[in-house]
């Protein structure tokens, strides 16, 4: 029980939700967007369709939660050390891109987003969720005087994340921690940040 005498989440509900989210990610990776339906997720996960509809009325919401859960699992708690925090956040992105299922999910969304408004909205929502950790770190750094007021935080996020997406999704190359360190150091140097 918590401080208010309430019980935590029902473990059965947590297990069902986890099974559904895992099934949604796997189906997206294996079959693309058309393969992710409430019927298919129910069959793969063993979770009833009624339960799925109650938690996720549409497939976009289900996929959003499935991928954001992966993002949150690799996100570190910020320490206040700008270089270490950016490196940790970028290593989280590296882990997502190196995970075969998550990589295929990202590829499926990017492939169909220009032609499907629902996937376009999902892509934008996932961009916001992924960028939020970087932006929080950069705004903390700005508050501590490490970034000038004119420094555009979203540009820094793009300069950090862009090379990883290019290296993995376009070049098909492995990303190691040394590459992440180099990207962070180069970006901070370009913006005149001393860490």
Q: How far is CA 161 from the centre of its chain?
A: 12
Diameter of the chain measured on Cα atoms: 54
CATH T-level topology, domain 59-190: Tetracycline Repressor; domain 2 (1.10.357)
Query: What Å distances lie between residue 74 and 67, 154, 156, CA to CA?
Result: 11, 20, 20
- How many Å apart are CA 134 and CA 78, to the nearest integer? 10
Average pLDDT of the chain to the nearest whole number = 90
Whether the model clears a pTM of 0.85, i.e. scores above it, the answer is no
Q: Summarize the confidence of residues 87-101 as an average pLDDT.
A: 94
Residue whose structure tokens are 């499926």:
108
Q: Higher model confidence: residue 28 or residue 7?
A: 28
Quick: pLDDT tens for 132-141. 999 999 999 9
Which DSSP category does 4 fall into? Answer: T
pLDDT at 194 over 90: no
Q: Is the distance from CB of 104 to CB of 36 less than 8 angstroms?
A: no
Alpha helices per DSSP H over 6-99: 11-31, 38-45, 49-55, 59-74, 82-98
């Amino acid at each position: 029980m918590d401080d208010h005498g309430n019980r935590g989440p029902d473990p059965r509900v947590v297990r069902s939700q986890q099974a559904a989210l895992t099934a949604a990610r796997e189906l997206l990776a294996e079959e693309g967007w058309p393969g992710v339906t409430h019927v298919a997720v129910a069959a793969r996960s063993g979770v009833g369709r009624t339960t799925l509809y109650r938690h996720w009325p549409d497939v976009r919401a289900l996929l959003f939660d499935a991928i954001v859960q992966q993002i949150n699992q690799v996100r570190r708690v910020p320490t206040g050390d700008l270089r270490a925090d950016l490196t940790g956040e970028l290593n989280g992105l590296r882990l997502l891109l190196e995970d075969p299922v998550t990589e295929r999910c990202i590829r499926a969304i990017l492939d169909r987003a220009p032609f499907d408004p629902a996937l376009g909205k999902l892509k934008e929502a996932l961009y916001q969720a992924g960028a939020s950790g970087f932006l929080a770190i950069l705004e903390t750094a700005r508050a501590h005087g490490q970034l000038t007021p004119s420094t555009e935080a979203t540009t820094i996020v793009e300069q950090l994340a862009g090379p990883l997406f290019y290296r993995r999704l376009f070049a098909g190359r492995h990303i190691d921690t040394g590459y992440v360190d180099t990207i962070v150091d180069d970006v901070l140097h370009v913006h005149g940040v001393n860490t």
